[in-house]
């Protein structure tokens, strides 16, 4: 038995389109994933809660014969110890040049939003935010560890973030470092360059001149920061990630800088959306 010629023609058209259509044109058509939020949202929440429950139950609970008074005392001692350690931790983070707490002026302009899921095949997150909450496309998305990405599409029930590490993401960046034994962040060089997402959790600064590399004394472990006029002024200089590797470029005159954000952006549970673009 044969198939309907119309269906076979449809398959042929699909093959033609798959070979000929540029991905950018296809991406312009794709805005439908937001339609699936009524199912995707609750499923994601359920999975998260099951995951939390599972991980909290997975460690064996030993039999405890301490009295209530002992537990209260121990709790108080632990609180004091935690506060001390937290203060020490923040101090060490700042000494090492790691990202400190988000400045209060930025935090006050942000809305905290939970992550609903990821987009298969892309470095994108779906958020439990909507246009009703005031979210708009192109708004910057942050986490305590640095810049995360930008809102790509906002619907009535869900919003989508294009991460900095996405294949189609490009952003102008600068460089900086915390000199040894100093808390002041020093910018290295004043000419921004373009970093592009590599689609697998990192960014790449392609064809960076070796002369600039030497002039700015760039090396692995230096910070990459935002230096892009298309992003809110408040975020200029905001940290993106660390130079992980300096690779040979296409010619001996250039190198490629591999940049890794702090933490896996695809595994974020919550993010902050900067509600003002200016």
Partner 1 sequence: MRWLSFFILAYVMLGLQIGLGSSMQIHQAQPNLLLLVAVFIAINAPRNTALAACLLLGLLQDLLMPGKPLGLATFSYGVIGMLVINTQEVVYGDHFLTHFSLALLAGLVVAVIYGLHGAIYPLIHRSLKIWQRPPMGAMMGGALYTAVLAPIVIFILQRMRRAFGFRSSRGYTSR
Binding residues for partner 1, rule: CB under 8 A, are 1, 3-4, 7, 10-11, 13-23, 25-27, 29-30, 32-33, 36-44, 47-48, 51, 116-122, 124, 126, 167-168, 196, 199, 266-267
Shortest separation between residue 158's beta carbon and partner 1, angstroms: 9
Q: What is the DSSP letter of 47?
A: H
Q: Identify which of residues 48 and 98 has a Cβ nearer to partner 1 in the complex.
A: 48
Shortest separation between residue 247's beta carbon and partner 1, angstroms: 17
Shortest separation between residue 148's beta carbon and partner 1, angstroms: 16
Sequence-distant (6+) residues with CB within 8 A of 230 are 172
Say how many Å lie between the first and final Cα of the chain, rounded: 63
Residue 243 forms beta bridges with which residues? 259
Q: Identify which of residues 17 and 95 has a Cβ nearer to partner 1 in the complex.
A: 17
Q: Which of 114, 113, 111 is nearest to 45 (CA)?
A: 114
Q: Cα–Cα distance between 62 and 203 in angstroms, integer? A: 45
Q: Identify which of residues 208 and 223 has a Cβ nearer to partner 1 in the complex.
A: 208
Shortest separation between residue 164's beta carbon and partner 1, angstroms: 15
Cα–Cα distances in angstroms (integers) from residue 32 to residues 37, 160, 175, in the given order: 10, 11, 38
Shortest separation between residue 168's beta carbon and partner 1, angstroms: 7
Beta strand pairing status for 270-274 and 140-143?
A: antiparallel
Q: Identify which of residues 14 and 132 has a Cβ nearer to partner 1 in the complex.
A: 14
Q: What three-state secondary structure class fits 82?
A: helix
CB count within 10 Å of CB 75 equals 9
Q: Identify which of residues 34 and 213 has a Cβ nearer to partner 1 in the complex.
A: 34
């Amino acid at each position: 038995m044969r198939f309907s010629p119309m269906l076979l023609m449809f398959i042929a058209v699909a093959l033609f389109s798959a070979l000929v259509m540029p991905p950018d044109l296809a991406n312009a058509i794709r805005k439908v994933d937001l339609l699936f939020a009524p199912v995707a949202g609750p499923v994601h929440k359920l999975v998260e809660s099951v995951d939390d429950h599972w991980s909290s139950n997975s460690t064996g609970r030993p039999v405890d014969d301490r009295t209530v008074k002992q537990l209260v005392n121990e709790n108080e001692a632990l609180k004091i110890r935690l506060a001390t350690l937290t203060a020490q931790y923040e101090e060490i983070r700042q000494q090492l040049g790691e990202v400190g707490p988000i400045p209060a002026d930025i935090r006050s302009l942000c809305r905290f939003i939970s992550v609903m899921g990821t987009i298969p095949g892309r470095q994108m997150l779906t958020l439990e935010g909507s246009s009703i909450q005031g979210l708009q496309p192109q708004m910057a998305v942050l986490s305590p560890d640095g810049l995360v990405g930008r809102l790509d599409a906002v619907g009535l029930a869900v919003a989508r973030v294009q991460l900095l590490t996405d294949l189609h993401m490009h952003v102008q960046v600068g460089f900086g470092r915390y000199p040894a034994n100093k808390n002041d962040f020093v910018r290295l060089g004043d000419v921004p360059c373009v970093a592009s997402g590599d689609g697998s959790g990192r960014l790449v600064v392609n064809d960076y001149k070796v002369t600039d590399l030497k002039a700015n004394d760039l090396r692995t472990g230096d910070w990459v920061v935002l230096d892009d006029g298309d992003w809110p002024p408040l975020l200029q200089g905001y940290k993106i990630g660390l130079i992980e590797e300096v690779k040979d470029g296409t010619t001996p005159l250039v190198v490629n800088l591999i940049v890794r954000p702090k933490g896996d952006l695809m595994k974020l549970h919550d993010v902050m959306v900067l509600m003002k673009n200016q």
